[in-house]
Amino acid sequence: MEQEKLNNIVEAALFAAQQPLTLPMLAALFHEEDGVGHEDLARAVETLAQTCEGRGIELVEVASGFRYQVREAVHPWVARLWAERQTKYSRALLETLALIAYRQPITRGEIEQVRGVTVATSIIRTLEEREWIRVVGYRDVPGKPALFGTTRQFLDYFNLKSLDQLPTLAEIREIADPDPQLALAPEPEAAPNDATNPSDPPADAEGAAPADTPSTTEDAA
């Protein structure tokens, strides 16, 4: 067998196998009449490893044999294939975010006063990590509590030009539960990063309910 064909078979086998392959395992793919020796196989593996140079994958030898693997350099991008969508935010987090939006600058203590319950530190941290809120200053009282405000990213995410585009508090109080048509100025484009997740169900999947109602009304009920 020509070395080139041999190389191709070894390449394909290494890519098709679910685990590393040793030289004897590779040798087992060939018939006697193929006339393939161990040196031929070793040469094939070496050639294939070389052709991976400067590419996104590499051919490496590990304890149980040879395998193709994704290079570390590109891993940060590749890993996004398995990006996991976190579970929905809690009601407490949404309330906190809303109060910060409408009452900024506001301290944690003030939020707790309105909500009647403690605001978990994790909620503040999550909102800060998402860069939706930030500390805009400190109140001049004992303990110097941080004052929180919303950010530009917050506006961007909800597709708002300014906070004025949010409904007034009076309007919000009138929102009826079953009413899906909230009189919002700009329809909150279902999250901007929606389409970008490969783990999202295909767009044509049946029952892809419009984002606006079901979960919300369940929560509110």
Round to whole Å and give the CA distance between 10 and 167.
Answer: 64
Per the document, the length of the chain is 221
- Asked if 166 and 134 touch (Cβ cutoff 8 Å), the reply is no
Q: Which does 122 bind (CB under 5 to 8 A by kind): a copy of itself, other proteins, none?
A: none
Q: Is 12 in the site for a copy of itself (CB under 8 A)?
A: yes
Stretch that binds a copy of itself, among 28-36, 103-111, 121-129, 162-170 (CB under 8 A): 28-36
Is 62 or 120 the residue whose CB approaches a copy of itself more closely?
A: 62
Smallest separation, CB 2 to other proteins (Å): 21
Q: Which residue has the tokens 């149980």?
A: 64
Q: Which residues are CB-contacts of 14 (< 8 A; sequence separation ≥ 6)?
A: 21, 48, 59, 66, 67, 68
Q: Is 1 in the site for other proteins (CB under 8 A)?
A: no
**Residues paired with residue 159 on neighbouring β-strands, in sequence order:** none
Q: Which of residues 139-168 bind a copy of itself (CB under 8 A)?
A: 152
Q: Which of 122, 136, 130, 127 is nearest to 98 (CA)?
A: 127
Among 62, 77, 161, 190, binds a copy of itself (CB under 8 A): 77
Q: Which of residues 143-182 bind other proteins (CB under 8 A)?
A: 144, 146-147, 149-150, 156-160, 162-164, 166-182
Q: Which of 74, 64, 128, 72 is nearest to 96 (CA)?
A: 128
Q: Which does 97 bind (CB under 5 to 8 A by kind): other proteins, a copy of itself, none?
A: other proteins
Q: Is 92 in the site for a copy of itself (CB under 8 A)?
A: no
Q: Is 125 in the site for other proteins (CB under 8 A)?
A: no
Q: Is 176 in the site for a copy of itself (CB under 8 A)?
A: no
Q: Which does 125 bind (CB under 5 to 8 A by kind): other proteins, a copy of itself, none?
A: none
Round to whole Å and give the CA distance between 139 and 202.
Answer: 49
